[in-house]
Chain A
Amino acid sequence: MADREPVLKVENLTITYDTEKGPLHTVRNVSLQIAPGEIYGLVGESGSGKTTFARGVVRYLPSNGKITTGRISLSGTDLATLSHKQIRKVWGSRVTMVHQDPNASINPSMLIGDQIAEAMRVHLGLNKKQAGQKAIEMLNKVRMPDPELVARRYAHQLSGGMLQRVLIATAMATNPEFMIMDEPTTALDVTTEAVILDLIRELMSEYNTAILFITHNLGVIARICDRIGVLYAGELMEEGPIHEVFRNRLHPYTRGLLGCVPRVDASKKSITLSSIPGFIPRPNQLPPGCIFAPRCDLVEEACQLERPPLVEIGPSHLSSCRRVDCLRTRTKEVEQAREERIEELGPVVLEARNIKKYFPFSGGLTALVRGKKSVKAVDDISIRMRSSFTLGIVGESGCGKTTLARCIAGLEEATSGEIDLEGEHLDYSVSRREPAVLKKIQMVFQNPDASLNPQLPAGYSVARPLTLLRNMSKKQVQERVKELFAAVSLPPDYIDRLPHELSGGEKQRVAIARAFAADPVLMICDEPISSLDVSVQASLMNLLAELQGTAGTAYLFISHDLAAVRHLSDWIAVVYLGRLWEIGSAEDVFVPPYHPYTEALLSAIPIPDPDIEQDRIRLKGSVPSALNVPPGCRFHTRCPRKIGAVCETEEPPWREMEGGHRICCHIPIDELKTLQGGGLLKKAGQGGNR
């Protein structure tokens, strides 16, 4: 592809923000080219300047941001010098953008069809009728079911996946030369993400558009991109063809990022995730030498003296590391092996039987007219947990994962069922549980910003459970807070800091310290790492694994990130529409035979290795409403392995296997085994070119 004339040619682009503290050069000297039909993946942690770069390329910067140097050539037009009026003509016709949050990117009070047609009317000069017709065609192109109907709908009537299709249809409608996709699948479920990525791949080869694909997710890059650029603190560190970069990883930062991602074929028992120490430097506090030097494990004196240039180190493969030769000889695996723990079943900590949680759906007059209905968020789930044991719960959003956790914690009162903690019967509601019971179950929430009091120092949040639940004296509390901060690897002076003085990862460490302060026997972690960068995720997962090793706490770990669940969990439960469909040890759940739903989830995981070819099992549509649960097997409406009428009418039986692995499906185990073959991970042949 490199021999074709590039559509986009960015040379030495530097973008500067004027701030109160002086100019901030957020993106510095970035050059890259993208050919027609090529998908260029730009990856980096938050704060690396990905989005600023993309907005700068299309000249959509806030009023205090400007391009200080550089040329941006779009098929010969220099975008950097266009007037504001001229660039407006380029937007929407030659360059289009797909944004991260499809829900927020679509005008809520305008019909979908009109929003797709709009750009075509302005740029292609179509009249209202033609544009409307073309909008429906575009919806058809992005495989939207019932395009005519969808065109006459509003944003709130469509699911996230459908809205992202609408955004793609809008962006493709004017047949642009160049398109920017800024984290287009980050807000979606893993299953929807897989479907959207397939769609983007197909459309791009058909339309021959050049694409700049921005994401923090290396797995997504591996699945969809042709080339990758790794951005760090506003500069390109490594660039090259996707297979080349993932195989050789010739920059320590790339290597670090990839080492952070948990693998689907290994867990905390065998490996510790590598994490990158320290933080991205701010553009006004850059180190004098290599900007990655302070966080690099290969650093030598020369690295800190002079900034190394980005040089070609292989066929169209660039890296800015001085020590490329050293990297070449090092083995690829940087992860540390962990001593295998001898499995020993601990005592049962939690036993939850037949938990149900029904939410009444609207009351008053509506209920009189339409009859009472309820949303069956959790419908008969039983789990058992032992000490030093992690149960991972996976499933798409809206399947009842969080509700189940909240019922166990008592934050939501279960409708029926029994919850026993260490043999003691628990009340449904947290407000009627004794302090001695409360201290035994603690929670870590997804968003540490919202779960820490912004007005009070971090140490206070950690001290609260000590005074409230453990009746410690003031002196004991002080001691214990210090120990806890040390346990979560935070320096002691952080005790007096306010939450806004901490980074996202540090806040989550405080939240974990708070949970451990109560000395719980069971900790519920509801998406504790989802909103954080990969390197931070890795260090938190290591921390959780470590703390479990010393404290023997049981974890209920909820996440939509299946690789993270695989890494941390001993057992995994697969939930769909409020029911359990498969449960077993992590090793068993991730290899066939598995439930068709598990199979679809697993085949959707974006694995950060372009040489792995996954099965392409894609689910149609989205999770049905829990108001109208399909009869028979609840999964039959989307099941790719449906066997017939029996799935629609009869509830499937539980099928037991060795090691307590259970699957709830009409298909017998042996048949599942033959259908599913070798399983998830298939290394592609030697080639590796798409």
Chain B
Amino acid sequence: MGLYILRRLGFIFLTLFLASVIIFIVTQFLPGDVARIILGQFATEAAIDNLREELGLNQPAYRQYLNWAGGFIRGDWGDSLVSRMPVRPIVMQRLGNSIMLAGLALCIYVPLGIVLGVIAALKQNKLPDQLISGISMAFVGLPEFVSGLLLITFLAIGAGWFPANSSIDPDAKFFESLPYLILPAVTVSLTGLGYVARMTRSGTIDVLGSDYTRAAELKGLPGRQVLVRHVLRNSLLPTVTIVAMGIGWLLGGLIVTEAVYGYPGLGRLLVYGIQRQDLPIIQAASMIVVAAYSFSNLAADIIYGLLNPRIRVGG
């Protein structure tokens, strides 16, 4: 297992390296002259030449990449082209916000999704199952800007229980920001819930039909013991994978939800950077998102391995 994790870590660094090359190529080279982007259409040739020299844009491509990547590893992520502020604190603060939102959303949809999925599996093809499966499918299909706006209309503007806008104060403590987090977290959970419930349902149905569940029932064990020790222990394995892989999505992929609520997360920072062509912001934010996806995948595999004796103990 140790060796396995080591190998996976090796692959993650390879992934990060390849991603950094792609990000660098896309941002530095493809859209045209970086110096022109920074200085605008009306800058003089001389000013642009000066800036090119200053930014090292006249050096060969691999040197530029090494400079950039080296700086990135050392923690020097450059300055924002728009605000002239260092990029790292901005990205880190947004990452913190995203983690808060992701954490709350996970706390809502994972337990709920598992419970609903197990109920649906136990009542397979009966009314509770049809309700749960139908509704969760509808939620998966509903775009976040629709569900978000509906929630804002009814729960924030209509009932007035939660604030409609979630642009939280950067200095606020977690509990002070909690009310602002709830609506976005619920919006995200509606999507996540569907995936978790459906995965749990199908996994549980498989295991309920397995020979070892039949064997456990014919041992005369109490129903609850059969369910917990024999069924769930095996049927939740695929769910664990789905949940862990969802973390990457929660951290970097909530662009729409964050936009609907004006929530200052990583996704919105990325959009903001792209709109203003703020290259260091785009680079740093994309690298963080790639890392989030890679590590949540690794987490998924490790947890799966820990729960599955076939991998944990080996043959």
A91 to chain B minimum Cβ distance, whole angstroms, is: 4
B221 and A92 within 8 A (CB): yes
- The reply to whether B308 and A119 form a contact with Cβ atoms under 8 Å apart is no
Q: B210 contacts which chain A residues (CB < 8 A)?
A: 104
User: At the interface, yes or no: B215 with Cβ under 8 Å from chain A?
Assistant: yes
Does B310 have its Cβ within 8 Å of any Cβ on chain A?
yes
Are B220 and A365 in contact, CB atoms less than 8 angstroms apart? no
* Chain A residues whose C-beta falls within 8 Å of the C-beta of B309 in the assembled complex: 108-109, 154, 156
Interface of A with B (CB < 8 Å)?
58, 60, 88-93, 96-97, 99, 101, 104-110, 118-119, 122-123, 153-154, 156-157, 167, 170, 364-366, 369
Q: Which residue of A lies closest to B216 (CB)?
A: A107
Are B211 and A99 in touch, CB under 8 angstroms?
A: yes
CA distance A679 to B265 in the complex (A): 82
A110 contacts B230, CB within 8 Å?
Answer: yes
- Chain B residues closer than 8 Å to A60, beta-carbon distance: 214, 217-218
Nearest residue (CB) in B for A365 is B7
Q: Give the interface of B toward A (CB within 8 A).
A: 3, 6-7, 10, 210-212, 214-222, 225, 229-230, 233-234, 307-310, 313, 315
Q: Is A58 in contact with B218, judged by CB distance below 8 angstroms?
A: yes
- Taking a contact as CB atoms under 8 Å apart, the answer to whether B218 and A154 are in contact is no
Q: What is the predominant secondary structure among interface residues of chain B facing chain A? A: helix
Distance in Å from the Cβ of A114 to the closest Cβ of chain B?
A: 8
Kindly identify which residue among B6, B211, B221, B233 contacts A105, using a CB–CB cutoff of 8 Å: B211
Taking CB atoms, residues of chain A closer than 8 Å to B211 are 99, 101, 104-105
Known: A109-B308, A157-B315, A364-B7. A97 touches B212 (CB 8 A): no
Q: Determine the chain A residues whose CB is within 8 A of the CB of B212 once the complex forms.
A: 104-108
Q: How far is the CA of A470 from the CA of B6 in the complex (A)?
A: 54
Q: A107-B212, A122-B221, A154-B310 are in contact. List 18 more A-B contacts (CB 8 A).
A: A89-B220, A91-B219, A96-B219, A99-B214, A105-B211, A105-B214, A105-B215, A108-B234, A110-B233, A122-B220, A122-B225, A154-B313, A156-B309, A156-B310, A156-B313, A156-B315, A364-B7, A366-B3
CB distance from A104 to the nearest CB of B (A): 4
A377 to B6, CA, bound (A): 31
A-B contact pairs, 21 of them (CB 8 A): A58-B218, A60-B218, A99-B211, A99-B214, A104-B212, A105-B214, A106-B212, A107-B212, A107-B229, A107-B230, A108-B212, A108-B308, A118-B219, A118-B229, A119-B219, A122-B221, A123-B220, A157-B315, A167-B215, A365-B10, A369-B3
A540 to chain B, nearest CB (A): 29
- B310 touching A118 by the CB < 8 A rule? no
Residues from chain B with Cβ under 8 Å of A167 in the complex = 215
Query: What is the CB-to-nearest-CB distance from B55 to chain A, in angstroms, rounded to a whole number?
Result: 40
Output the nearest chain B residue to A119 by Cβ-Cβ distance: B219
Complex Cα gap A109–B228 (Å): 12
Who on chain A is nearest to B307 by CB?
A109
Contacts of A97 in B (CB 8 A): 215, 218
Q: What residue in chain A is nearest B314 (Cβ atoms)? A: A157
Number of A-B contacts (CB under 8 A): 87
Instruction: Determine whether the beta carbon of B222 is less than 8 Å from that of A109.
Output: no
Complex CA–CA separation, A170 to B215 (angstroms): 10
Shortest CB distance B10–A (Å): 8
Is there contact, CB below 8 Å, between B7 and A118?
A: no
Q: Are A91 and B218 in contact (CB under 8 A)?
A: yes
A123 to B218, CA, bound (A): 12
CB pair A109 B220 closer than 8 Å: no
Q: How far is the CB of B271 from chain A (nearest CB, A)?
A: 39
Residue contact A93 to B220, C-beta cutoff 8 Å:
yes
Residues in chain A near residue B220, CB distance under 8 A: 88-93, 119, 122-123
Residues of B within 8 A of A92 (CB): 218-221
* A118: B residues at CB distance < 8 A: 216, 219, 221, 225, 229
- Bound Cα distance from A92 to B214, whole angstroms: 12
Q: Which residues of B contact A107 (CB under 8 A)?
A: 212, 216, 229-230, 233-234
Residues of A within 8 A of B215 (CB): 97, 99, 105-106, 167, 170
- Are A91 and B217 in touch, CB under 8 angstroms? yes
> Judging by beta carbons under 8 Å apart, are A108 and B310 in contact?
yes
Q: Which residue of B lies closest to A95 (CB)?
A: B218
Chain A residues contacting B308 (CB-CB under 8 Å) are 108-109
A88 vs B219: C-alpha distance when bound (angstroms): 8
A284 CB to closest chain B CB (Å) equals: 24
For A104, the chain B residues whose CB sits under 8 A away are 210-212
Residues from chain A with a CB closer than 8 A to the CB of B310 are 108, 154, 156
CB distance from B35 to the nearest CB of A (A): 44
Residues of B close to A58: CB separation below 8 A: 218
Chain B residue numbers with a CB within 8 Å of A156 are 309-310, 313, 315
Interface centre among A93, A108, A170 (most CB of B within 10 A): A108
A-B pairs, 7 with minimum CB distance: A92-B220, A91-B220, A92-B219, A104-B211, A154-B309, A119-B219, A105-B211
User: A60 CA to B216 CA in the complex, in Å?
Assistant: 12
Identify which of A108, A153, A170, A364 contacts B219 (C-beta below 8 A): A170
Query: Once bound together, how far apart are the Cα atoms of A92 and B219, in whole Å?
Result: 4
A157 and B219 in contact, given A105-B211, A105-B212 (Cβ under 8 angstroms): no
The smallest C-beta distance from A657 to any residue of chain B, in angstroms, reads: 41
Give complex CA distance A677, B233 in Å.
Answer: 55
Chain A residue numbers with a CB within 8 Å of B234 are: 107-109
Query: Measured between alpha carbons, how far is A646 from B211 in the docked complex, in Å?
Result: 46
Nearest to A170 among chain B residues (CB) is B219
B6 / chain A contacts, CB cutoff of 8 Å:
365
Nearest neighbor of B310 in chain A, beta-carbon distance: A156
Contacts of A96 in B (CB 8 A): 218-219
Chain B residues with CB below 8 A from A106, complex form: 212, 215
Output the residue of A109, A156, A157 with the most chain B CB within 10 A: A109
Once the chains are docked, how many angstroms separate the CA of A109 from the CA of B213?
A: 12
State the CA gap A154–B214 with chains docked (Å). 18
A369–B7 alpha-carbon span in the complex (Å): 12
Report how far A118 CA is from B218 CA in the complex, Å.
12
Q: Residue on A with the closest CB to B213?
A: A107
CA–CA, A31 and B234, complex, Å: 40
CB nearest neighbor in B for A84:
B223
Rounded to whole Å, the gap between the CB of A396 and the closest CB of chain B is 19
* A93 CB contacts on chain B under 8 angstroms: 220
Interchain CA distance A90-B196 in the complex, whole Å:
37
Instruction: Quote the shortest CB–CB distance from B303 to chain A (angstroms).
Output: 13
A105 to B3, CA, bound (A): 31
- In the bound complex, residues from chain A placing their C-beta under 8 Å from that of B7 are 364-365
Residues of B within 8 A of A108 (CB): 212, 234, 308-310
Q: Taking A104-B212, A105-B212, A156-B310 as contacts, is the C-beta distance between A110 and B229 under 8 angstroms?
A: yes
